[in-house]
């Protein structure tokens, strides 16, 4: 249970760190790039698998890692923008609601059960993302306020789905740390490519605090995955129960962090959306 608690706390802290970037004027794209280098190096250091660098592209999971690296750098930037523009609770809800996507994938590809309650949970998740994104009690949600939470919802779901498929199909036993580290390092390399245009235009401004921000983000980013995997290996704790507690915990704790540390204000629609989010996670995960 301690691993589950640590996973919830660290995942929630990622949203707080993104919010701190805005407060401290840290360049988020630069910090994210450094974050992936830190997480990748940390994963290699902690890995027990002995493999030469030139052997990695020949591994059966490499193409999957390459695709995930693209998703990681893209979705992480979307997560940062969502936290800053829509708030911690909105980002947490949009990210954790994405659990419905791998569930739908499992129903279609792996022929998993799909009852009325599960479908109801998926529909409620979509409603929750809409309500949690609202910024006015009396006015409808504008498209520009929805775009980032929706992209985060889809991107996070795609990551979870691809991770599950590649890991169960191509990653050998004991190869998860190296597989994860490779994803992080690919995201780092791709992130460097994003800097080429601003450098050529003379718009790139390097600041040491961006490196510190990347380190601050990279360490918990790696361990959020590490502790979740450790929690999944706990005997007597079913994965459906674990993911339910994990997702609900992150939504609630991120909301509390936003209220306590950043004085975020939630309107009635937001509270309803968060409540529906918790209900939908329970319905989808447990039934």
pTM for this predicted structure: 0.79
Please report the pLDDT score of residue 238 as a whole number: 62
3-state DSSP of the chain: CHHHHHHHHHHHHHHHHHHHHHHCCCCHHHHHHHHHHHHHHHHHHHCCCCCCHHHHHHCCCHHHHHHHHHHHHHHHHHHHHHHHHCCHHHHHHHHHHCCHHHHHHHHHHCCCCCCHHHHHHHHHHHHHHHHHCCCCCCCCCCHHHHHHHHHHHHHHHHHHHHHHHHHHHCCCCCCHHHHHHHHHHHHHHHHHHHCHHHHHCCCCCCCHHHHHHHHHHHHHHHHHHHHHHHHHCCCCCCHHHHHHHHHHHHHHHHHHHHHHHCCCCCCHHHHHHHHHHHHHHHHHHHC
Do 268 and 27 meet the contact criterion of CB atoms below 8 Å apart? no
Q: How far apart are CA 140 and CA 158, in angstroms?
A: 28
Residues 6+ apart with CB under 8 A from 75: 152, 155, 156, 158, 159
Q: How far apart are CA 251 and CA 278, in angstroms?
A: 8
Please report the pLDDT score of residue 240 as a whole number: 59
Domain encompassing residue 165? 2-286
Q: How far apart are CA 76 and CA 17, in angstroms?
A: 12
Please report the pLDDT score of residue 80 as a whole number: 80
Please report the pLDDT score of residue 69 as a whole number: 92
How many CB atoms neighbour CB 66 within 10 A? 15
The total number of structural domains that make up the chain: 1
Closest Cα partner for 217 from 23, 2, 30? Answer: 30
Residues 6+ apart with CB under 8 A from 138: none
Please report the pLDDT score of residue 34 as a whole number: 93
- Token digits of residue 39: 């997480």
Please report the pLDDT score of residue 38 as a whole number: 95
pLDDT tens string, the chain, 287 residues long: the values are: 788 889 889 988 988 898 888 888 898 888 989 999 999 999 888 887 777 778 889 999 999 999 999 998 898 888 888 877 887 777 777 877 787 787 778 778 877 667 788 788 878 887 887 777 666 655 555 566 678 888 999 998 898 888 878 877 888 877 778 888 899 999 999 988 878 877 888 877 878 899 999 999 999 998 987 787 777 667 766 665 677 777 778 877 888 888 888 887 888 888 888 888 888 878 876 76
Burial-class residue 255 by CB neighbours within 10 Å (0-12, 13-18, 19+). Answer: buried
Closest Cα partner for 247 from 141, 96, 129? Answer: 96
């Amino acid at each position: 249970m301690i691993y589950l608690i640590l996973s919830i706390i660290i995942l929630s802290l990622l949203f707080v760190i993104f919010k701190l970037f805005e407060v401290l004027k840290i360049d988020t794209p630069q910090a994210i790039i450094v974050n992936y280098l830190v997480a990748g190096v940390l994963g290699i250091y902690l890995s027990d698998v002995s493999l030469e660098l030139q052997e990695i592209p020949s591994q059966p999971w490499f193409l999957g890692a390459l695709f995930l690296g693209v998703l990681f750098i893209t979705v992480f930037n979307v997560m940062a923008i969502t936290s800053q523009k829509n708030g911690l609770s909105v980002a947490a809800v949009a990210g954790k609601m994405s659990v419905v996507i791998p569930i739908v994938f499992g129903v279609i590809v792996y022929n998993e059960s799909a009852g009325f309650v599960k479908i109801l949970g998926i529909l409620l998740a979509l409603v929750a993302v809409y309500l949690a994104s609202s910024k006015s009690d009396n006015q409808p949600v504008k498209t520009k306020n929805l775009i980032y939470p929706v992209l985060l919802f889809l991107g996070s779901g795609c990551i979870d789905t691809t991770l599950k498929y590649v890991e169960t199909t191509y990653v050998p036993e004991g190869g998860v740390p190296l597989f994860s580290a490779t994803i992080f390092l690919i995201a780092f390399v791709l992130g460097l490519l994003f800097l080429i245009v601003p450098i050529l235009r003379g718009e790139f401004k390097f600041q040491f605090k961006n490196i510190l921000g990347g380190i601050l983000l990279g360490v918990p980013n790696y361990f959020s995955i590490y502790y979740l995997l450790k929690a999944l290996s706990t005997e007597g704790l079913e994965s459906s129960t674990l993911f339910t507690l994990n997702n609900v915990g992150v939504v609630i704790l991120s909301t509390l962090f936003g209220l306590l540390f950043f004085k975020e204000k939630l309107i009635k629609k937001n509270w309803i959306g968060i409540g529906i989010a918790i209900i939908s996670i329970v319905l989808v995960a447990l039934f």
